[in-house]
Structure 1
Amino acid sequence: MPDDQHGDGAPPSPPEPLLRMVDNLARFHREHEEFYAQAPLRQAAGLQAHSRVLKALADRWSTVGAGEPAEGLAFTGAEDLNAPGLVAEAGVLFMEDGEEPTELKRLRRDLGLLADDSEQTGAWLSGAMERSWETAGSLTTHPALADLAGERHRIIADDWQAAGLLSLIARLLRRALELLARVDFSPAALRLDLAGGRTAPAYLYSASELLDRAADLLAESAALVHGNERRWRTFRARVRELLPE
């Protein structure tokens, strides 16, 4: 194909290898972002469920009086510690065995894993956008691609913002875990707290509020990435117009 591909003074087409590379990038990164426009929403729903568990327990422990342990009946449910409806909804069951419910241990483990994943994904995405910004700058030297510069840089900006949100989400989750670590979830310790200062509900409410904010930010992250879908289509369609048949 001649440089003046339209024969009417149009800007020369960039080299074909460059166009092929950009076309490949647009195809696979669009598909990658389709995943990341959905996955954070599922994670946000999970955080909201965890937050409801903490709020339900905090509501219960803010008003109920400390009960007496049932001697010799380890698998009996603790009448005072279990929140109404929570056993069926989330499986969190306090029993008279003196142990923290397995479901609460799993909740904290899940939060830790999500914090690690969010931090790692945010760091990777931020680094990728740093490199993408430089690459996008080099495309501006080709006049035939000038009309794509806005679309491409907006994609990068939105992804970079999503990366920052993921890093903040990791911080929120880790601080929530620090708050939960202040609570001894054994029945004996909780009953002492109910009979005394009732600090456990305060820690649970605060931790749940951090989870709520993290869930909101996950949804914002998904919205940012989802907003790029049309931009990727526009970007790729323009590149393919320049490719030789």
Structure 2
Amino acid sequence: MAEDEAQLSPPESLLQLIDNLARFHREHEEYYSQAPLRQAGELQARSRALKTLADRWSVVGVGEQTSAAAFAGTEDLNAPGLAAASGILFMEGEGEPVELQRLKREVGLLADDVEQTGAWLAGAMEQAWEIAGGLAAYPALVDLLGERHRIIANDWQSAGLQALVARLLRRALDLLACIDFAPAALRVDLGGERTAPAYLYSASELLDRAADLMTESATLVHDNERRWRIFRARVRELQST
């Protein structure tokens, strides 16, 4: 009887490995079920700032420089309340606001981060898929292979979403790069074809979609929590017997 049970169960060394993975990857995924939600909220705030500027610049009558004093705020280009909400302030005689530069820099850094995380996760799931397939040789775990493969599928899908998020963020930056944010240049554009608002709207919509996908990614990873718990409980039960 004991010999039959040993044939049904993975060897102790494999059980220890599975238990380790179930423990630490569950903890790792607890972070990635929350961090993208925070990042998505930050992206939405940046998107709202761009839309606020686009709304303002779509209708405002373009004025002349309102003051010769350095660092005076531009009456026409600044959207009401935006400086208090985001720090973005257009000033006479200045170039692109440093807060807009920071916004673009942070979006670029986020694109790099999610691309790297997605690439790592996709590679890890390739290996996890092969390991999970090998567990079919052990009947004691077969009824949980659906749970294990669902975890892998969720993570793999999350990896794909993160790669797409990186693309969306970089394309948004491409669109923002088409705008000269210096007040003098903006006044020329807004007094003519008024293309800056259109670029801003499109860039903000890409940020919105990226935020939505980051939320979907977090939801997929969060779905794994109970599955990891069930899988590890079975492994520990086998270890104890």
Any idea what SS the aligned residue of 1:153 has? helix
Q: What is the deviation of 1:11?
A: 6.2
Q: What is the deviation of 1:172?
A: 0.3
Q: What is the deviation of 1:2?
A: 3.0
State the partner residue of 1:163: 159
Query: For 1:142-153, what aligned pairs fall within 5 Å after superposition?
Result: 142-153=138-149
State the partner residue of 2:179: 183
Matched, 1:2 2:14: no
**Alpha-carbon RMSD:** 1.3
Query: For 1:84-123, what aligned pairs fall within 5 Å after superposition?
Result: 84-123=80-119
Q: Deviations over 1:215-238 (max 9, x none)?
A: 000000000000000000000001
The counterpart of 1:224, out of the listed 220, 225, 232, is 220
TM-score, length basis structure 1: 0.96
State the partner residue of 2:41: 45
Matched, 1:70 2:61: no
Q: What is the deviation of 1:49?
A: 0.4
Q: What is the deviation of 1:194?
A: 1.1
Q: Deviations over 1:52-110 (max 9, x none)?
A: 00000000000001111135311110010000110110010001132111000000001
Measure the CA separation in 2 of the matches of 1:175 and 1:12. 52
Any idea what SS the aligned residue of 1:3 has? helix
Q: What is the deviation of 1:12?
A: 2.6
Matched, 1:210 2:232: no
Measure the CA separation in 1 of the matches of 2:78 and 2:179. 16
Worse-matched range after superposition: 40-49 or 67-76: 67-76
TM-score, length basis structure 2: 0.97
Matched, 1:137 2:133: yes
Measure the CA separation in 2 of the matches of 1:50 and 1:196. 27
Matched, 1:14 2:45: no
Measure the CA separation in 2 of the matches of 1:124 and 1:230. 23
Moved over 2 A (4+): 1-5, 10-13
State the partner residue of 1:197: 193
Matched, 1:237 2:229: no
Structure 1 unaligned blocks of 5 or more = none
Structure 2 unaligned blocks of 5 or more = none
Does the 8 A contact of 1:165 with 1:218 survive in 2?
yes
Q: What is the deviation of 1:148?
A: 1.4
State the partner residue of 2:54: 58
Measure the CA separation in 1 of the matches of 2:240 and 2:107. 50
Measure the CA separation in 2 of the matches of 1:138 and 1:153. 12
Measure the CA separation in 2 of the matches of 1:172 and 1:141. 42
Any idea what SS the aligned residue of 2:8 has? coil
Matched, 1:173 2:169: yes
Any idea what SS the aligned residue of 1:40 has? helix
Any idea what SS the aligned residue of 1:140 has? helix
